[in-house]
Amino acid sequence: MSLDVTYRSFRCPLDRPLQTADGTIDERAGFLIRLTDGTDTGYGESTPLAGWTESLDECREALDDAVDAQSNGHAAVLDAVDHTAADRHGISLALADLAATRDANPLYRDLGALERVPRIPVNATIGDGDADETVDAVDRAVDDGFQCCKLKVGRRSVADDVERVRRVRETFGDDLDLRVDANGAWTFDEAERALDGLNDLDVSILEQPLPAGALSGLAELRGNGVAIAVDEGLLEHGVDAIESAHAADVYVLKPMALGGVDVARQVAAWVGESDRSVIVTTTIDAVVARTAAVHLAAAIPNVLASGVATGDRLAEDLARDPVFIDGGTAVIPQTKGLGVENVWDEP
Ligand SMILES: O=C(O)CCC(=O)c1ccccc1C(=O)O
Ligand SMILES: [Mg+2]
């Protein structure tokens, strides 16, 4: 079966930039990938993010190599992008979408779900603004039906961040599930002080309090009432090292940074063997990668509320969003493949 590989670049400005301790994300640029085997078509997306994946230029070069390898078959095309996580995500997704479309299965079934999954729980993503901005953003999320909010922290003092969380807790009550994500911003001392305050405010998960390299510190922070999640650290160390160091209660899986939904699915299986929980998140991707993350989450048993409700930050997208975000859940597309339609047409 001959394979045809094509790609085009795209740029999506954000109309709600995401402030994090690591900088502000205000635009996403990447590549939309199309694979055809003569009968069926599959789509993928490579949307690199500085600090998380290779650069846009490196991804473009590797995609050109993938196009050059098309006459040598699927494995050669995938090999050409093996060293670029975002491209490997894009090509492997296009192959998976093609196969699922051919078999007339929704992608999440091909990723291993044993039965129909109607919905998965999702979290709202709240940027690292001041206390008033934080309360306003959570207010919108609660209005939209979210029951779980992840607050970005780490750009200001620990005392100020704890105060932001206190304002949210006091305004919205005890039923709201609150998480915080420091994107590696704190020292061990700061993280310990933050934990004290966050535990009192019933924060359920603290994501990446320490820099990616610090594993033993994460292990020491565990057992203080707030579950410790590893995100950046997973990319640096892998599951085995993190499990040996007892450094995480929860794993955050970003398929774009891990090199594909297939890789992320495998990581989820390993993590499940150690009785750890998993959260799937996007890197604020366009509709193809975002929908793939939703299918991935649907394929993982007992996945925690996931950070995939990020589409409303984009001012433009590649196609209509097939995923309905409703009452704190994402409704899983049940049509064949990814379920994103008319994506190759310019928006
Ligand atoms: O998890 C979410 O709610 C959304 C995704 C998110 O926070 C994120 C988006 C882009 C880059 C890094 C991160 C992160 O989780 O650290
Ligand atoms: Mg994170």
Domain boundary assignment for the chain: 4-104, 110-331
Atom 9 in ligand 1: which residue has the minimum CA distance? Answer: 283
Active site residues: 152, 254
Q: 10-residue block means of pLDDT along the chain (347 residues)?
A: 92 96 97 96 98 97 98 96 98 98 98 97 98 98 98 98 98 98 98 98 98 97 97 98 98 98 98 95 98 99 98 97 97 98 81
Structure confidence at residue 198 (pLDDT): 98
Question: From the alpha carbon of 183, which atom of ligand 1 is closest?
Answer: 16
> Rounded distance, CA 54 to CA 40, Å?
30
**Cα 20 to middle of ligand 2, angstroms:** 9
Ion ligand 2: residues, CB < 5 A: 181, 207, 231
Cβ neighbors of 201 (< 8 A, separation 6 or more) are 162, 165, 166, 169, 178
CA gyration radius, the chain = 20
User: Does residue 284 line the site of ligand 1, with CB under 6 A?
Assistant: yes
Regarding the beta carbon of 22 and ligand 1, being less than 6 Å apart is answered no
Q: Which atom in ligand 1 lies closest to the alpha carbon of residue 281? A: 1
Per-residue pLDDT, 347: 47
Res 1: pLDDT: 64
Q: How crowded is residue 67: how many other Cβ atoms within 10 Å of its Cβ?
A: 14
Cα(265)–Cα(108) distance, rounded to whole angstroms?
Answer: 10
Q: Return the CATH architecture of domain 4-104.
A: 2-Layer Sandwich (3.30)
pLDDT for 346: 59
Asked if residues 199 and 173 have their Cβ atoms less than 8 Å apart, the reply is no
For 87-107, b/e burial (b = at least 16 CB within 10 A) is bbbbbbbbbbbbbbbbeebbb
Question: Would the CB of 128 count as within 6 Å of ligand 1?
Answer: no
Cβ atoms of 281 and 122 within 8 Å: the answer is no
* 110-331 CATH pick, 1.10.340.30, 3.30.1490.120, 3.20.20.120, 3.40.50.720: 3.20.20.120
- Tally of CB atoms within 10 A around 136: 13
Q: Residue 343 in 3-state DSSP?
A: coil
Contacts of 109 (CB under 8 A, 6+ apart): 100, 299
125 lines ligand 1 (CB under 6 A): yes
DSSP class per residue in 148-183: EEEEE--SS-HHHHHHHHHHHHHHH-TTSEEEEE-T
